[in-house]
Amino acid sequence: MAKRRRLGRTQIEVTAVGLGCWQFSAGRGMTGKFWEALPQPVVDSVVAAALRRGINWFDTAEMYGRGASERALAAALLAAGKASGDVVVATKWMPLFRAAGSIKATIDERLRCLAPFAIDLHQVHQPVGFSSVESEMGAMADLVAEQKIRAVGVSNFSPNRMRRAHEALAARKIPLASNQVRYSLLNRHVESDGTVAAANQLGVTIIAYSPLAQGLLTGRYHEDPGFVKTRPGPRKWMGAFKAKGLERSRRLVEELGAIAGAHGATAGQVALAWLCQFHGETVVVIPGASRPQQADENAGALELTLSQAELGKLDELSRQFM
């Protein structure tokens, strides 16, 4: 069994690597267009591969295909013979153009989409809405009291907003479990803006999404710059995937490959392991996977231990991305 760590100061325990489920959106909605629509049998195989390698938790959201990802995840877990309580399930409420009352008004729909699996972690997806942080945390705390969710998290919150969420929940004797943020060796802004430091101080887990920088850290796009043109979504227009962007990150990706070679691993596994180990147990990662081989490879990061020298070298080479 893969080693687990506590999610914040809750009693929930997760593996350092989880599975992000945005790609299970079935091509629906604005966010779903980023990925190819995956048939349910493929979703089943991806989830099964993650489970087989010891991953015990899955992160989805109502915004991912307007519930399509939640439903696909639940179906895949059932197909794998799992029952509620066997795994940890996280989802998110989107505050855009909504007030805090929507959290409680939509929770039954979230539970229906994920049925029969319980919601272990419910997160506020973005910091922009029609209600204060305190009102949103109050609504989440009510759901904990009603036993409709186990723990509360936030996503994309600044250090100040995270502190406010922490204080509001503490008044109800509930810990803030997590802050889910974009974080990778190619995007370390959450270190330079104080988010990681604040999380350490508060005992909040950082959940890193896009930990492979949408695949850039695997080296695939450096080896074949034209590959991006075959991918769905906006990557083909993003600067990081163009010649100048690839050149900027090339030295880092080459070092990932060199370290990987010394461990019999892959560059992507090294990139994930760095995130999970550089800050002790503060950071966990949720790479996505659209094929079972990708889920299997990502889970391999759980078995990789980097030396202090390797951690330091990658820190040095990636500081330009802070």
Whether residue 96 has pLDDT greater than 70: yes
Span 114-130, average pLDDT: 97
More confident residue, 292 or 238: 292
Of all residues in the chain, what percent carry a pLDDT higher than 70? Answer: 92
Q: With 60 as the cut, is the pLDDT of residue 33 above it?
A: no
Q: Is the dihedral of CA 228, 46, 29, 94 positive or negative?
A: negative
Show the domains of the chain with their CATH numbers. Answer: 4-215+265-305 (3.20.20.100)
Place of tokens 């790479």: 287
pLDDT of 194-250, one tens digit each? Answer: 999 999 999 999 999 999 998 899 988 777 666 666 666 666 666 676 878 788 999
DSSP string over 65-112: TTTHHHHHHHHHHHHTT--TTSSEEEEEE--TT--THHHHHHHHHHHH
Question: Could you please report the per-residue DSSP string of 246-264?
Answer: HHHHHHHHHHHHHHHHHHT
Q: What is the set of active-site residues? A: 64
As to burial, measured by CB atoms within 10 angstroms (0-12 exposed, 13-18 middle, 19+ buried), residue 173 is exposed
Beta bridge partners of 179: 154, 206
Mean pLDDT computed over every residue of the chain: 93
CA dihedral 240, 94, 22, 251 (to 10 degrees): 20
Read off the pLDDT of residues 48-86 as tens digits, 9 standing for 90 and up: 999 999 999 999 999 999 999 999 999 999 999 999 999
pLDDT tens per residue, range 137-196: 999 999 999 999 999 999 999 999 999 999 999 999 999 999 999 999 999 999 999 999
Q: Is the pLDDT of residue 7 over 70?
A: yes
296 touches 263 (CB < 8 A): no
Q: Alpha-carbon dihedral of residues 171, 93, 268, 265, nearest 10 degrees?
A: 70
Indicate the pairing of strand 176-182 with strand 88-93.
Answer: unpaired
Q: Which amino acid is at 238?
A: M
Q: How confident is the model at residue 215, as a pLDDT?
A: 86
Q: What is the pLDDT of residue 219?
A: 80
SS3 121: strand
Inform me whether the pLDDT recorded for 37 exceeds 90: no
Where in the chain does DSSP place strands (E)? Answer: 4-6, 13-15, 19-20, 57-59, 88-93, 119-124, 149-155, 176-182, 205-209, 283-285
What burial letters (b/e) apply to 133-147, b meaning 16+ CB within 10 Å? Answer: bebbbbbbbbbbeee
Give yes or no for a contact between 271 and 211, defined as CB atoms under 8 angstroms apart: yes
Tokens encoding 148: 């409709």
Residues 6+ apart with CB under 8 A from 193: 158, 159
Residues 6+ apart with CB under 8 A from 81: none
